[in-house]
Each structure stands twice: as C-alpha cells, then as structure tokens.
Amino acid sequence: MSEVPNLLAPYDVGSEVMDAKPADSHVRPLLRWLRRSGIVLAMVIVAVLGGVATTKLWPVTVETQLFSLDLSLSPLPSQANTVHTPTVLGDINVTFDGPLPALGIDAQAQVGDEAAAVLNRPGVTVNDFQPSEMEIGEAAREGAIEVVWKFGAGALVTSSLLAALWVLGRRHHRWGRAGIAVVTATGVALALPGGAALLTYRQSNFSTFTTTSLLSTFGATTTVLTDLNSRAEQAAPYLQNLLALSEAARNEFTPDDLDATPAARFLLVSDLHGVNYYPLIKQIVDEQNITAVIDTGDIINFGRVQEAEVADLYAGIESLGVPYVYVRGNHDATSPDDESMLRAMNEVPNVVLVEPTAGEFYEAEIAGVRIAGYNDVRYFGEEGVDYGADQQAALDSFEEVLEAASEADPDGREPDIVISHEPYALENLDVSGVTINGHMHRPTLDGNHIGVGTFSGGGLFNHFIYRDAEGVDTAGELPGQPYSFDILDYTSTCRLTSLTRFSYSNLVTGTPQFDDVSLINGSRLISSPPQDRTCGGEDVVTRELGPVGLNSLPGESRRLLGSS
C-alpha cells in the first residue's frame, strides 16, 4: 500500500526559491528607479513651464537708443526655434534650424521716447532709426543673461513648491531626497532648453526671415522706402521705427552672404492664365534688379494663341527687357502635338525656350547660371486620362540628354535650375541644383523642389466677386487663389544664397500690396554649391543639349537680346 503524501508537511522548493529571490531583488530596484525617474521628469516639465511662466509674467526688457523689446519665452510647438516679434504693422519672424527644438522667443517691440525727437531732425531717413550692430549685440547679450536668470529662478521656485507639497502629503517627511529632486529637476530644466537654445539660435542655423501684413509692404521695395524717406517728417514714429527694427533683425540673424549684392536674380512666376500683369512684373523686374524671369507655364487658359494676342501678352513680355525663360503648361496647348504657343513665344525677342519643339532640349546660360527643362506632356481639356506613362517617357528622354551632355562636356554640364510645369514631371528627377514647377497654384518647398504659386491668382476665370459684407475690408474685390511669386539669388561663385517668397493681394483692383515676405536660406535647398564657377554679367547663351538619342556635345551657341 503506497503512502499518502502529507500535503500539510513542509516541502523543499529547492532551486525555485533561490531563482525567485534574485528576480525579486532586480525588479524592485528597477521599479523604484522608474518611479523616482518619473517623479523627476514630472518635476522637470513643471520646472520648465514655471520658468516660461516667470518670463511671461515678468518679461525681460532690453533697450537701444530708440526702441525697446520685452523678451519672454514661449512653450508653443508652433513657435519652436523662432524669434517672434508681433507689431501693429505686422509680424517679424526669424526661424532657425537646430538639432533640438528650442523654446520660442517672443519679443514685444516698443518705440522709445527719443524716436519723436529724431523724427523732428531735418533730413531724417529710415536709416536714422536703425540700431547699430553694437547696440543689437549688447542688447542681445544682456537680454539672454537676464532671461536665463529669470527662467532659472522660476524653475527653482516651481519645482520647490511641487516638492514641498509632495513631502507634506506623505507620512515621512524626507526633505533631503526632496532637495536632491529639486536640484536635479532645476538643473535639467536649465540644461535641456538652454543647450537647445545655444545650439539653435546661431547665425549659421538661420532658416527663414518673414515679415507680414503692412510691415512687409514697406520692407519689400526700395521705392516705398524712398517715398518714406521723403515723407519722414509726416510719418508716424512707430512706423519708421518698426521698419528699422525689421531691417535690423534681418541683418542680425541672416548670414552675411545673404545680404551681399547678388550676381544674378531670377524672378519665378507661373500660371498667369491669360491676365496681363506684365506692367506689375516690369515694376518688380526694375525694383528688384531682376536678371531674368522664369515662367513655368499656363500663360493662357484654353490653349489658343489668340488669347495671348488679345491680352497683349507678347508685348508685355518683350517690355520686360530681360530674358524670359518659358516652358509650356497644360493650358498652353489644345492637343499633345500642339506647338502653336511655343512658335508664338519663339517670335518674342527676349523669350528663351528650353524645349522649343518636342525632343529638342536647350540649356540657357544666363549670367552664368545654367537653366534647362522640358514642356508639359498634357494639354487643355485632357480629363480622366492616366498620363503617367507619357510623363515618365518625357522624363526619360530629358534625363538621357542631360546625362549624355554631362558626360561629353569636360565641365560636367549639369544645370543649376531645371523647370517644368507640373510637380509630377520633376519629383523623380535627381539633380544637384533646384527644380521649379507651377501648376498647383500655391507656393511649396520640399528639399530642392520649388513649387511656384500663381502670379495672377489663377486668372479671372478663377476669381469670384466678394460682395459687400459688413466688416470686410476687401468687399467688392475679386478674390481668387493667393497671388505669389519667388526670387532666387545667386552669388558670383554661382552659389544659391536665398529664396525670397512674396504673396500679394488686391491685384485685380490695381492696388497691389505685399501680404507676406519670407527669406529662406539657400543652403537649406542646396547643401553643396558648385565648384570653380563664375556667375554674373548680362550674357545670355543657349546651347543645344541634343535631340533624343544623340550623344552629342552641346551644339553651336546662339545669343539673344541682340548681343553678338
């Protein structure tokens, strides 16, 4: 008879007990460490918010002779890496690219008491209101030090209050541990935002300078500034001062080479859709010292050259007096083989066609900057058709010619700018320069791919009358899509320094004004500038890259605009 085991008797768990003890000895310290880390992390977040709140409640005031700024920090993600200066005339925003997101800086501008006295001086100009570099630098240093002290004090007080509440709410008052947590949280709260700010707010990390509303209206053109100079005694002190503040901020934050005189400037327009805004383009060409205009297509609406004749577009283009580089858009033809618009444009003396007929590609070298591209494969009225295969075939042909010309030319003739009408035509093109398209009627930027907005708001067919409405300033205007254009600046070494983006309003009523101006660092688009190149001057040369299938050297050059 077998024995019945005594279930109540003690038994030897052996190795199981020995295995459980080490596991428990590891888990508990880990949980304790995680809990304490979570508490410190919460204290760090509270400390940061407390420091930011302190700068909001008691902002730091820095002064120059004629203006003052109240500085505070912003925790908003939308203002990260940005110095934001709101004014009654518009906002000044300076954005930086940094390895870490840094707290935004709000700078409330105020006009100093001495501004009125300066305004009464004979012959005063806007330049008299602009702070010197020494004033800006000294104010920035003093402001930074005081912001750090106020932020640190706010972080320390906030984390101390939180720690005190935590200790008082527990049975055992462990003030020593609480003190260590407070010091740790305050140190981290200072180190992380402070380190991010030091790494981000550097001139070399400058990304974009933007002014908005009325401030950008006066800051955008030299003629308006000249008018302000002549009427300085009648101008409001804050207007002159804020203009100078905007220019001073731009000069302080943007790299030196962005302020250097460009060797070549290219005005980028697109999608005029039959509206003769060339008098306005002429004004921009003259005021901004434009070297050439680049039009990425859709110059008309229904693909018929008569539209351009009736609107007098050809004469408008010729009146610009600078080269006009053009590619055909989908609204510029009535069928896949329709080249009537290309032929008409080719008759305009200053027009440069990079694909004058299907499969023949030219490179235009204007002031040393090389421009190539190809026409849209689509046409007006093409709806519900999958044109992907045609688009890829056109791209393949263009790339084949580019590669052959580059291999045959000892200089490696890769273009600085490649243009086409639709973004889909360029999204798979890998070039070291920039690519430019239109078609979408809105300005975009993705790496080195520039999407140009519509210069005419999409034309009259895309406008509608905004009837009288209470409280609406633009009642009676014909709103459409936002009007916009861009300017590309190149140095004498053919380096792209900046992309300046403009948006307009009130074009249809004939009273255009700038709504927004943004300056984007060219190094954000092109990280590796060309080597051993020289740009500048007025030479305009086109070279045949070769028809499809021919691995030919660039052909005979032909010069435009009457040069020999």
Instruction: Give the per-residue pLDDT at 354.
Output: 95
Beta-carbon contacts of 555 under 8 Å, excluding residues fewer than 6 positions away, are: 543, 544, 546
Query: From CA 531, how far away is CA 179, in angstroms rounded?
Result: 58
| Percent residues over pLDDT 90 in the chain | 29
pLDDT higher than 80, residue 150: yes
Is residue 372 a contact partner of residue 364, using CB atoms and an 8 Å limit? yes
Strands, E assignment, 369-477:
369-373, 417-419, 434-437, 444-446, 449-451
Average pLDDT score over residue span 161-166: 81
| Confidence class for position 469, pLDDT limits 50, 70, 90 | low
Q: Which of 392, 389, 349 is nearest to 374 (CA)?
A: 392
What's this model's pTM, rounded to 2 decimal places? 0.72
pLDDT in tens, 483-521: 889 999 999 999 999 998 888 776 655 555 666 778 888
CA distances from 148 to 143, 191, 222, 266, 466 (A): 9, 11, 39, 43, 50
CA distances from 555 to 343, 362, 406, 543 (A): 21, 9, 13, 6
Average pLDDT score over residue span 291-320: 94
Average pLDDT score over residue span 210-237: 44
Higher pLDDT, 35 or 25: 35
Torsion of CA 489, 494, 496, 501, to 10 degrees: 20
C-alpha atoms less than 13 angstroms from C-alpha of 88 in its C-beta half-sphere: 8
Minimum mean pLDDT range among 64-73, 94-103, 523-532: 64-73
Minimum mean pLDDT range among 116-120, 345-349, 537-541: 116-120
| Confidence class for position 204, pLDDT limits 50, 70, 90 | confident
Instruction: Give the per-residue pLDDT at 555.
Output: 38
Range(s) within the chain of domains with CATH label 3.60.21.10: 266-559
Mapped onto helix, strand or coil, the DSSP state of residue 436 is strand
Mean pLDDT of the chain: 77
| Confidence class for position 132, pLDDT limits 50, 70, 90 | low
Tell me which architecture the domain covering 266-559 has in CATH: 4-Layer Sandwich (3.60)
Query: From CA 132, how far away is CA 159, in angstroms rounded?
Result: 40
Instruction: Give the per-residue pLDDT at 357.
Output: 93
pLDDT higher than 50, residue 7: no
pLDDT in tens, 328-384: 999 999 998 999 999 999 999 999 999 999 989 999 999 999 999 999 999 988 776
Instruction: Give the per-residue pLDDT at 123.
Output: 53
Instruction: Give the per-residue pLDDT at 303.
Output: 92
Minimum mean pLDDT range among 11-15, 110-114, 312-316, 537-541: 11-15
Name the DSSP letter for residue 205: G
Query: From CA 501, how far away is CA 542, in angstroms rounded?
Result: 28
